[in-house]
Every structure is written in C-alpha cells, then in structure tokens.
Chains A and B, each alone.
Chain A
Amino acid sequence: MKEMIYQTVCPGCNMGCGLYIRENDEGTVAIDFMKSSPANLGKLCRFGMQLPHHYSKATSMVDGVESSIDDAIQAASTKLKGAKDVAMLSVGATTSEEHLAFTKVADALGTVVNTGMGTYAELPPECHATVGHGIPLEDVEQASKIALFIDPYTQYPLIVRRLLAAKRSGASIIAVGPKEIKLADETKHIGPDQYESELGLDSESLIIADVHPHSDPEHVKHLLNLALMTGARIMFMKPFVDSTGVHLLSRGTGQKGLQEIMDGINEGSIKTLVTLDSDPIELMPNGVEDILKKLDNLVVISSRNSPVTRLAQIVIGTEPLYAKAGSFMNVEGQMLKNSGSSSIGIDALSTLAQNLGGKAFDCQGLHTQVLENVVKEYTGPKYKKLSCEMMETAPEEGKGNLINVYNPFMWFDQPDDNDFVMVNMNTVKSLGLRKGGMIALTSNGGTLKIRYAVAEVPDGLMLTNKKLPITTGTCTVVTAEGC
C-alpha cells in the first residue's frame, strides 16, 4: 500500500499547529506528529487528534447531481455572469493563495470578499494591526501578568502550555469570564467598568482575548481601551487556519460580518452568495438554512463536504486542505507552508475568473503576490503597538443565560462528546437535578433534554461547548428544569 505524507497545519484555529497527514491509496487519512513545528512542538489538541474525521472528500455538484469539477465551474460561471447583489465569503479556512484567488473572482464580479469578521468594521482602522497581528507566542511565556479573556482549555488549547510556562516563570494569571479557569490564580466575574481597577495591569502585562465572527465589537473596544489605559500588550486569538492571512489580504474590502450577510439575504439585498471553504450553517447559530434558501444562487467552493454543500445549487469540490499548494499565516504572524502541490482549487478559481471576464492566474504567481502583500509589510512575529485613541463604548451585548464557548468543534460542526451543559451546584440543588440525570432547557428554539456537568460558573448561568439545537446566538435565554 502506498502512502502520501503531507506537512500541513491544523485547520482548527489560527495557532498554526504543524502536523503530518498520512493518506494511503485507499484514501484513508491519519495524523502524525511533527515535533519540529515551532508553534506546537508536534502537540495537538482534541480537535487536531480528530482531524481524520474532519476531512471529507468534497464532491462537485450541479443542481443536486454529482458532476465533474469542470461542469460545476461552467455552471457557476453561467449563474454568476451578470449576477447582481452578490456577496462573497471566505473566513480564512483555506490557504492565503486560494483566498487571494477568490478575491480575483470577486474583482471580476465587481464585488469584494468578506471575511465575516464584522468587528473590524466597527473599530478604528489604526487599531486593526494590533487586533489582526497578535504577538510572538514565545512572548506569552515572558509576560509578568496575564489577563485571560478566553477559556484556553476549550477554545485554543495549545496556548495552555504557553500560559503554564509563564506561570513557571513567575507570571500571575487572572481569568475574566463565566468559567473557573484552573491554571489561573484567580477567576473574576467582572464587567468592563471594573477591568482597570480589578485587574491591576501595567506595561509588563499581557491581555489575551479573541476575535471571531460573533465577537461583540463593544467587548473588543473595552479590551482595547483597557490596553490603552494600562499600557498592557494585547493579543487576539482567532478561529481559522488563515485568519491572520486573510485579514492582511482583505484590508479595505469591507469586512462584512456574517450576521450582516445573513441579514442582507433575509432582507433581499443579497441574492447570490459565493463561499470559499466557509459554511454559514456551521458558523452561525441555528436557523440559517431557512435564510440561505431565500438566495437565488448559492455557489459553494469547498475542500470538504459540509452542511452548506448539501444546500448549494453548485458545489465546486476542491482538494483537501492538506494537499493544497499554499501558505497560511498564524496568530503570531509566522508564515507556514503546506508541502502539498495540488492546485485544483486555484485552477478552478482561475477558470471561473476568466469566464467572468477576469484574468488567469496560477499558484506560483499568487504565492508571489501573497509574499508581496503580506510578508513585505509584515516581516515576522512582532507586536504592533496600539496606536489608536480611546474609543467610545456602549454596553456589551449578550443577554442570555446559556453561553456558547466557541471552539474548533463548534466552528466546524464536528462530532464531539461535549454534549452537556455546565451548571453550578446551586443550580443543581435549586432544580433538584439528579447525579447522572438530565436537565431540560427551553428557548425560542425549542426544548432540549441534555446531560449536565457541575462547574464553577456564576449562579443561573449555563455554558456549552457545543452548538445546541435550541441556541439562537452566542447567548440564548433559556428556562431550565430538572428531568
């Protein structure tokens, strides 16, 4: 049996964890550890260990019928020629080169590529570099004090070892959020107006937060203000393999948020949606299928089958991410290259661009442009000091007592054993929950019976690491009873 071995990067988030993918001639995929990878030393999180389940061969389809990729490209060209009210979406779940190719298709259509990160549009452009670039991961280990606004274990697990290394070097870590974080010296359930007084940060401190398609811009502003007031450095973790790369490649193109796109479809101002390795059904709360059905045209370009490929009129199925020629930029600004040499996706986009009146391009040329656009201005991991003024802020959103803790399994709708909610002991007692029993949750989205785990969370609050069928957003108002 022959085996292909690819050096690639885990698509679970923007940490840039290197690994090997072994693919045999029967198409079976296995992971192997790349111990020389600087971001992760070969170590992988729960999601990385489950990667073989994540990859699924994408099938080209036209109107629900399996087709050749060429026929799918032709059908997409026909649909898109002269199409109006087009939105294009690429969140950064593919290579920088493919994303750039996608922007050239957008040029041909007279539109732009949205990354779904609506938060950027709400922030002053002068702070985009700080939000977008992050800091060298090794610097996390050098910080004297760290304020954590993420759940590192669940959301970005490979940051855990960096935080532990910082602790060993004497750093104090304060977590801010609804859940007790074991590695933190203290976990505080505080609001933005208490950040400055309660956290005691200074210029030797580091704030670690995240920015993702559902981030509340007001929350990000509060944290940026905190960094400005205290002189602390701030680092934003990100959810997709090339989140940093697509941010740098897409500057100035609008950065329409996912919700804004969905609202546009709902209101009829967007009639055609073209996606590149970005599945709104996976990325959004429940109920998006009904919105997507309102589209005149849904064209999906994807390296794997996912819920949206079942809904699309046209699917252009490309090669798996690990097999693509191309590069990614991780959260600290390291450019990481795939060893794969396939250009099926880029060639498809080139043909599509030409059919729409654009110019042809190839993988090597795109890589050169990526280097010019990204690396030329960004010469490696280095913190971009905040250069904006203090921002006016409003109260943060997020009214609800069931909170989704976003993580790779949730972004990619992958099976996981996170099928429970976390509640505190007071909730257990007040609802009369039995050990090993279930809790019944009811929201506008329906009722769900689910297992529960006891955790240190504030009274009345429930957390879930899984997108549950009854959730309607990042926070959902639910009523609970024992069952």
Chain B
Amino acid sequence: MVAVGDMLVGYATDGGVRKRGASGGLVTAVLAAALEKGLVENVVVMKHINEFEAVPIITDDVEVVLASTGSLHSVPVNLAKYAVGRKVAMPAKPCDAQAVIEQAKRGMIDLDNTYVVGLNCGGSMHPVTTKKMLVEMYDIDPEDVIGEEIEKGKLIFKTKDGNEKGIAIDELEEAGFGRRDSCRYCTIKIPVNADLACGNWGVIGDLAGSATFCQVMNDKGVRLLENAIEAGRIEVQPASEKAIAIREKVNTAMVNLGNTLEGKILTEIPDEARIQYYLDQMANCIDCGACKEVCPVCACGEDSKCTMFHSLVDDYSMSMYHLVRLLHLSDSCIACGQCSDVCPSDIPITILQSRFAIPAQRKREYTPGMNVDETPPFFEVILK
C-alpha cells in the first residue's frame, strides 16, 4: 500500500526500461502504466530527436511512452499547454507543474484528469548554447555526446568513446554558459506541487544511478504508484532516513544558490533609471507575439487585454502590449523562461516579468502554481 507523504525509492521492473530511462526508468514506467491501465487516455512525452533536441508529443501508445527520452537538460520546453483539454499523464519539472496548476485555476485543465509526475530540476540549458559550451569549455564535439547528468554541482557529459567529463556549473555560468537565467534564480527544485515528486537526489548505495527517489504528494500520486505496482511495471521500497536527509540537503543547497543568484541577476535599479531601463530593454520588440503564445500560464487566447490595447499603428514609447502583460502576469508569472527563449530580439522578458512579479507575489505571500485552491491575488473572475 502506498500513502500520501510516503518517501520511496523505486525503479522499472523491465530491464530495458530501467537501463534506458533516467534513474531506473521509474517515471517512464509509471506513465506507461497510467496509459496501459486506463488511468489516462494520453501521455505527454518527449520524443528524442538528438541529445539536444526533443519534441513534446501526445501519445496513446504504451510503446511510444516506453521509448521516450529521459530528462534532457538542454531541452527547455514547458509541457503544461500540451495537457489542456486532455485526460493525460505527464512528466513535469516544477515549472511545468506550476503551469498546470495555473491553467487549472483558469479552467483550462481539469486536475482530476491530469496526472503530473514531477521531476527534480536543477535548471535547464538552451541547446545551441550547450553545443557552443561543449566545444569551448569541454573540448567535446556535440555529435559525440550520448548522455548528460548533473551531480555534485557538476555538469557531466558522456561521450561515445565511453569517457565522461564534468565541469562545475558555477564555472560554466561565470563563462556565460550553463543554465538559463530564470533557472539560475529559481527556488523550486523539488516538484512538491506535482502528484509525485521524483528525482535522483537521495538515491544512494547500490541503487545510485539505477533508481528514483519518489515522494507521494497527494491521492493522485497514490493512484499513479499503486497503478504501476499493480501493472507490474515498478518496484518500490521505503527510502532510508539517510536518503531522505541527503535529498533535503541537496535541495537546500540548490534553493540557497537560487536565492543568492536572484540578487545577482535581478539587480536593483534606481527609481530614476527604471523607466529608461524598461524602454531600452523593450526597444527592439518586433511585435511577434511569441512571448504570449508560449506563456504556459496564459489562458487568454487570441482575444486578450494585452493585444486589445496594442496596435502597430500606435507610436507610444513603450508598447501597451508589454505594459499590460507586465501587470497582468505579476501575480501569475512562474519565471519558466519560455518567453525569453523564443524572443527573436533576445529581450530578457522573463527577467523583466520577474522584476514585477517577484515583489508583487512576495508582498502577498503567494507563489503561483503551488496550490490550486490559492486564488491569484489579482484574479478578477473566479471560475467555479
């Protein structure tokens, strides 16, 4: 029997899945079992293109789930919108799970039909930057990479010739590589907002590298695990006190680092320089709308406040589109970094949003995407 609050260590029973999937294949096996036993109709998985590219797909085929890729640090996609309108199970970084909950608050996702298998996340990297980093910092041809992992503060790449090389993330980030900016100051590293919170932190001893630590967060988490156990797809055992302590220690270190980096990245701007700062940052916007399209918490559709008050023919110094978005998202931005990723003018939109959102959210002691029952402070309409 599995219960809410359980801390377990587990792995896939199928040898192939255990070997191929990240950390013992538990997440893959849980997702496959959810589909196989009818808990959900679809699963969102990442289809592997190469070591630096995977594309989210929605599948009803168990074999596709089993063949899907493990976690890739250089595929920074937010999966929440792929769950909209579906009875689905999905893997989720903490920011994916946050976005799922925010979509649920806006009536776009039915949490009763959405099973979220959370994955610990120390941060993700942009694929093109990662390839450049491999050449410049690791002296590795990106084509030779067959795997990567983060361990003890180092980013490690494994190559075809069986070798591996690790460099401290701090060193990489000082050189301008490493994690995306928003990941560096993120402080939600264990997805306690998901149904299951899984990861390799706290997997020790003989199981290190071949099992997953799994915390059961709610009743849906219980269902997911019991379903997978009944299907014979996973085996679990209680995590030891030592394992639990190690997991917490890693988390605390990561969160502390995030807090430190927040101060370095979101530097104070004097009051008198603030307007010019935003004008300068947004001066090169080409009005593509990609930041809205990709925003995983936005549920407005085409007809929205930010677009309604914006027109190319206007000659305002700063676009109404961005001003409305800065205000509109101040209680809901989860700083996932998607908007910065897709901005064709390289505007650091996530940082701009965070400058508005973090103080606003802290003042109201509210963190978006953590609890579906917590209404965003500025919500105008409560969906029943």
- Name A's B-contacting residues (CB within 8 A): 3, 5, 7, 20, 32-38, 40-46, 48-49, 153, 157-158, 160-161, 164-165, 182-183, 417-420, 451-455
Contact = CB atoms under 8 A, between A and B. Distances in A.
Contact of B75 (A5, A7, A35, A452): A35
B53 A182 contact: no
Interface in B49-91: 49-50, 52-53, 55-58, 75-77
A20 B127 contact: no
B342 interface: yes
Nearest to B343: A43
A42 B312 contact: no
A41 B293 contact: no
A45 B344 contact: yes
B128 A46 contact: no
Contact of B312 (A32, A35, A164, A418): A418
A160 B290 contact: no
A183 B55 CA distance: 34
Contacts of A38: 128
A46 B284 contact: no
A16 B290 CA distance: 18
Contact of B345 (A48, A49, A164, A452): A164
B286 interface: yes
A183 B284 CA distance: 7
B314 interface: yes
B253 interface: no
A183 B290 CA distance: 21
A78 B214 CA distance: 70
B344 A40 contact: yes
A127 B69 CA distance: 48
B286 A453 contact: no
Interface in B318-346: 341-346
A278 B77 CA distance: 36
Contacts of B342: 33, 42-44
A36 B286 contact: no
Contacts of A5: 47, 55, 57
Nearest to A450: B313
B286 A3 contact: no
Given A34-B55, A157-B286, 15 more contacts: A3-B58, A5-B55, A20-B55, A35-B77, A41-B341, A42-B341, A43-B344, A44-B342, A46-B287, A49-B289, A161-B346, A183-B284, A417-B313, A451-B313, A453-B315
A16 to B, nearest CB: 14
27 contacts: A3-B57, A7-B49, A33-B294, A33-B341, A33-B342, A35-B126, A35-B128, A36-B50, A36-B53, A38-B128, A43-B290, A43-B343, A45-B288, A45-B344, A46-B288, A49-B288, A49-B293, A157-B288, A157-B345, A158-B344, A160-B286, A160-B345, A161-B346, A417-B313, A452-B313, A453-B312, A455-B315
A271 B313 CA distance: 43
Interface string B25-66: 000000000000000000000010110110111100000000
Contacts of A20: 55
A54 to B, nearest CB: 14
A454 B77 CA distance: 39
Contacts of B58: 3
B311 interface: yes
A20 B46 CA distance: 14
Nearest to A38: B128
A20 B293 CA distance: 15
A41 B313 CA distance: 29
A438 to B, nearest CB: 11
A3 B42 CA distance: 12
A34 B47 CA distance: 13
Shortest beta-carbon contacts, A-B, top 8: A36-B53, A36-B127, A43-B344, A420-B313, A161-B346, A46-B288, A157-B286, A453-B313
Contacts of B344: 40, 43-45, 157-158, 160-161
A182 B282 CA distance: 11
A49 B56 CA distance: 18
A153 B286 contact: yes
Contacts of A33: 77, 290, 294, 341-342
A245 B73 CA distance: 35
Contacts of A454: 315
B275 interface: no
A190 to B, nearest CB: 24
Nearest to A39: B128
A45 B57 CA distance: 24
Contacts of A7: 49
A36 B293 CA distance: 19
A405 B314 CA distance: 18
Contacts of B49: 7, 36
Contacts of B290: 33, 43-44, 49
Contacts of A34: 53, 55
B34 to A, nearest CB: 19
Interface in B272-294: 283-284, 286-290, 293-294
Contacts of B127: 35-36
Interface in B135-178: none
A453 B343 CA distance: 25
Nearest to B42: A1
A42 B56 CA distance: 14
A465 to B, nearest CB: 8
Between A34, A35, A48, A420, the greatest number of chain B beta carbons within 10 A of the residue's beta carbon is seen for A35
Contacts of B126: 35, 41
A41 B341 CA distance: 8
Contacts of B314: 453
A417 B311 contact: yes
> Taking each of B57, B342, B344, which has the highest tally of chain A beta carbons within 10 Å of its own beta carbon?
B344
